[in-house]
Chain A
Amino acid sequence: DAKTTQPPSMDCAEGRAANLPCNHSTISGNEYVYWYRQIHSQGPQYIIHGLKNNETNEMASLIITEDRKSSTLILPHATLRDTAVYYCTPAGGTSYGKLTFGQGTILTVHP
């Protein structure tokens, strides 16, 4: 059973906002939504996480629906260096961090 559903690929023009959706309809009440990305041949990089409120940091914004069954990661001004595979994953806030990545979304930023 897939924990998350993400589109396999998306394109974005450089300088525009990239909006990456994720469906996590089976998320439990104490699980956070985490987003990571992985640039080719590198280790995954933490981006942002949230429980139920929208979150923003220097990298991105995270919008979580009120029912918490889906979320959207927003890169406000995408650059070529944002080309990567983006993963969302529900994870318990008090567990030992059992990250389980699905197939993710390949985001390609074009000049």
Chain B
Amino acid sequence: ETGVTQTPRHLVMGMTNKKSLKCEQHLGHNAMYWYKQSAKKPLELMFVYSLEERVENNSVPSRFSPECPNSSHLFLHLHTLQPEDSALYLCASSQLAYNEQFFGPGTRLTVL
């Protein structure tokens, strides 16, 4: 595998479910990001991890919980989501202090 991978690619869940999104980067980067992209909004930065420490949390509701166990893996744990949380969730990685970010293909999330 090369680049940034995300699983699953598609996810449908009910509002009471708990699920997790997974991201893995094979680029040797040390910063990872979660973004949300809705149909009617531009790309929104959710979380930033640098050297496995969370350095940015853009007022994201607590029903989204990130986890970065090492520099290659990033998770987004989801629970009690709302229908308005339906969106494309994108993971990206970069070298520390650089903005050349490499994105994964995204997870298309639908909350029923």
Q: Is the CB of B104 within 8 A of A99?
A: no
Q: Is the CB of A42 within 8 A of B105?
A: yes
Q: Given A43-B90, A43-B105, A97-B48: A49 and B43 within 8 A (CB)?
A: no
For chain B, give the interface size range.
20 to 34
Q: Is the CB of B45 within 8 A of A98?
A: yes
Chain B interface, DSSP helix/strand/loop, else mixed: strand
Q: How many A-B residue pairs have CB under 8 A?
A: 63
**Shortest distance from the beta carbon of A103 to any chain B beta carbon, whole Å:** 7
Q: Which residues of B contact A (CB under 8 A)?
A: 4, 31, 33, 35, 42-43, 45, 48, 50, 55-56, 88, 90, 92, 94, 97-106, 108
Task: Report 23 cross-chain contacts, Cβ distance below 8 Å, ordered by A residue.
Answer: A34-B100, A41-B88, A41-B106, A41-B108, A42-B106, A44-B43, A44-B92, A45-B103, A46-B100, A49-B99, A93-B99, A95-B97, A96-B56, A96-B97, A97-B48, A97-B98, A97-B99, A98-B48, A99-B35, A99-B45, A99-B99, A102-B42, A103-B42
